[in-house]
Chains A and B, each alone.
Chain A
Amino acid sequence: MSRSREPSNRLWTALAAPGIGWLLLFFLAPLYVVLAIVFGQRDPLFRTAVPVWNPLQWDPTQFNYVLRRIGPGGVYFPALARTVVYVGLASILCLCIAFPVAYYVSRLAGRWQGLLIALLIAPFWISYMMRMLAWVNLLQNDGLVNKILSFGGLFDVNVDWLTGQPVVVVLGLAYGYVPYMVLPLYAGLDRLSQSMLEASRDLGASRVSSFVRVTLPMCRPTMLAAVLLTCLPMLGDYFTNDLLSASPKTAMVGNLINDSVQAPGQTGQAGAFVMLVLVATVLPMIYYVRVTLRGDEVRT
């Protein structure tokens, strides 16, 4: 028995090798480059970043500069706090919108399911940038939104949507990332064990309590995965904010990275922010891995 298993193990290792190679080449190596830049030097003439590869020669000046200013009262604190709030709100909003949609498509759509899935994928056909630029048009002072709100000139509505309104940025994020939330939720809900649900009804649970006590707990890893999938790119987003606000009042950590990466001599600071985001995202990841592992244990 054990002899027959060994070659197959080796086969799987071989099959995994390209993936691991890919990871080393395109994730770990670039990550090391970021570190080498954060703790690196600057070209004296052009002020571009000069990476220092030897960790023993690393210079933490730029990293410390950022680190000393991210706590409460520091100049970068508002942007970081804002990022957490915006991303949190947008994720909750995404979940509230995406869950019912995914639930309906996966369990109740019947023969329309194929069409609905196609429609859910449709937003991916249009680039994120185009979808945001469309909102810029709609939200302009003489745009459709203000026109509709004024009921054809009945009221004098002149809302400045695009000049630093936090609510516009949060809604923009939610709008932009909802498709990324729907698909994983759909995939998870689609695989929900039908027999479990039937069992709960057979044992006398009402529709509501069956949903709350069986469906939701079973969905938790899926929901977590979906939230993480949207949260992570949102944390690095600078673009939604640039297009829909462009005001420092709504700056997020992505904007800090973008600003400093484009400023000569400050690439190290940009790298420091990148490391911060990385650390902040690794923590929920650990939680996710633990939850899914526990899920596996329960199932087996």
Chain B
Amino acid sequence: MPVPNGYDRGRPSRRQFLQRAAILAAGAPALGAFLAACSKPGPASSGPSLTIAKPDSPVKWPIADDNKPIGDNLPPERGATLKIYNYADYLSPQAIKQFEDRYGVKIEVSTFNDGDEAITKLRSGVDFDIYNANYTEISRLVTGGLVRPLNHSYLPNITNVWPSFTNPWYDQGWQYTVPYTIYTTGIGWRTDQVPADIGKLSNPYASLWDPAYKDKTAIIDDFHTAMAMVLLKEGITDVNTSSADDLKMVGEQLTALGKATSPKVTITMYSDMPAGQIGLCQMWSGDIINAQSYLPEGVGTEILQYWFPQDGKGLVDNDMLVTLKGGKNPVLAHLFLNHMLDPAVAKENFSAIGYQPPQNSITADTLVAEEFIPENLRSAIVKPEYFDTGYRLLELDTTNEDAWRNVWNAFNSGGS
């Protein structure tokens, strides 16, 4: 769950500021020279360019000479503390406990709110062993030398995952990554607040623009995910577009959205919807599954509904686990990755966090038959074929990302 990072109340007095402003004015150049002397050599105006992996142009990342995989058959580090860097509520405590008991080690989980924050921290030289990455970051992680390549001999459980993930387009030959979770992005709603069957509408995305649901809606607080939904609503399937016209249209649509329903911009749908604050929202499939456990007592899970186009033509996504170059326990890190690929552990983890692992043993039918997921949320189950037809949010190049973010920031400031 994202919690704003602390709250800064202390401020130096402005009164002193006034009195000392002159000193600053006089001393600024000297201070600058001083700081420049302390800093690393000059700002990098040019540097390594990014290779961007796409489903139709898969990438096999290089392995640097100073960053080789660990050797075979090394013993796990003894009495160590394995450090994991992950989203909050995104790893089952029981899976952690099992691993700790099995290898006699301690696991320390640190959390972040979003990938941007995480990468900034990873660059500062922390010694985390494992990181929960997304493929939109992989080029930066590899090019920046932050991840450690995998030694496959420690990861026999890879055979349990869908074959497409053993040679993914974002990491050919899975040299750096193992898959962790898969999810779709669709629309979730509560039947007690939204009488219409959203999934049956001709354009379910458009329901978020329906003034009937004013003050009851939300969209995902991620510029790319939210703006891609606007593109899909308008029938544009290039969710990584660099067309200025498309982005202008998205900006206008977002303004219209704000006027029509005034949505919350958040990623806490999984608790806000069960609490009744949100009746209809853009949602990740894992969050609607997770939402069941947040419903107040006496409210049945049948009120929760989720829509994702059944032909798979929507946003599909996956997260993965990587081992970090700065970690001090590379063997344990490999063993932990293998642990999470174990079918029983993966399934228990699924029940704890709501996000499905791409395990061969888990199918839509078994999940419903075992009453793991109620029939009304069958649409939230991710199927392998979605990854053939679905749309992927890819890493954007610098100029394009700036253009996207500027549209998003304008929306977030309340629109004009």
Contacts and interface: CB of A to CB of B under 8 A. Distances in A.
Interface of A: 20, 23-24, 26-29, 31-33, 36, 40-48, 50-55, 57, 65, 69, 73-79, 82, 127-129, 140-142, 160, 162-165, 232-233, 236, 238-239, 242-243, 245-251, 255-256, 258-260, 262-266, 269, 281-282, 285-286, 288-289
Q: What range describes how many residues of B lie at the interface?
A: 35 or more
12 contacts: A29-B35, A32-B35, A44-B398, A45-B143, A46-B144, A57-B43, A75-B413, A245-B264, A259-B409, A259-B412, A263-B409, A269-B409
Contact of A28 (B18, B20, B401, B409): B20
Query: What are the 5 A-B residue pairs with the smallest beta carbon separation, nearest first?
Result: A141-B276, A75-B410, A79-B413, A285-B14, A41-B43
Interface string B359-399: 00000000000000000000000000000000000000010
B215 A140 contact: no
B411 interface: yes
Given A45-B48, A263-B116, A264-B116, A247 B413 contact: no
B320 to A, nearest CB: 19
Of B114, B144, B416, most A-chain CB atoms within 10 Å = B416
B416 A74 contact: yes
Interface string B18-58: 10100110011101110110010001111111100000000
A128 B9 CA distance: 10
B12 A140 contact: no
Contacts of B123: 46, 48
A282 B17 contact: yes
A28 B7 contact: no
Nearest to A253: B413
Nearest to B46: A44
Nearest to B406: A65
Interface in B230-268: 258, 262-266
Contact of B140 (A20, A46, A262): A46
A70 B104 CA distance: 57
B294 to A, nearest CB: 12
A220 B188 CA distance: 54
A31 B277 CA distance: 40
A142 B216 contact: no
A142 B412 contact: no
A24 B32 CA distance: 13
Nearest to A74: B416
B190 to A, nearest CB: 11
Contacts of B262: 163-164, 247-249
A279 B27 CA distance: 20
B402 interface: yes
A46 B118 CA distance: 11
A27 B12 contact: yes
Contacts of A29: 31, 35
Contacts of A256: 409, 412-413
A27 B416 contact: no
Contact of B413 (A20, A50, A76): A76
Contacts of B411: 248
B405 interface: yes
B44 A53 contact: no
B265 A55 contact: no
A236 B119 CA distance: 25
Given A45-B144, A54-B33, 10 more contacts: A23-B16, A44-B398, A54-B36, A128-B9, A129-B4, A163-B215, A250-B414, A255-B412, A256-B413, A266-B405
B214 to A, nearest CB: 9
B140 A55 contact: no
Contacts of B143: 45
Nearest to B278: A163
Contact of A41 (B36, B44, B406): B44
A162 B140 contact: no
Contacts of A250: 414
Given A53-B35, A54-B36, A282 B18 contact: yes
B72 interface: no
B215 A160 contact: yes
Given A44-B47, A246-B266, A236 B412 contact: no
B120 to A, nearest CB: 6
Contacts of A27: 12, 16-17
Nearest to A33: B35
A254 to B, nearest CB: 10
B156 interface: no
A246 B32 contact: no
Of A51, A69, A248, most B-chain CB atoms within 10 Å = A248
A57 B405 CA distance: 26
B8 interface: yes
Contacts of A246: 218, 264-266
A239 B7 CA distance: 7
B24 A28 contact: yes
B122 to A, nearest CB: 9
B24 A32 contact: yes
Given A43-B44, A160-B215, A265-B405, A232 B14 contact: yes
Contacts of A48: 120, 123
Contacts of B309: none
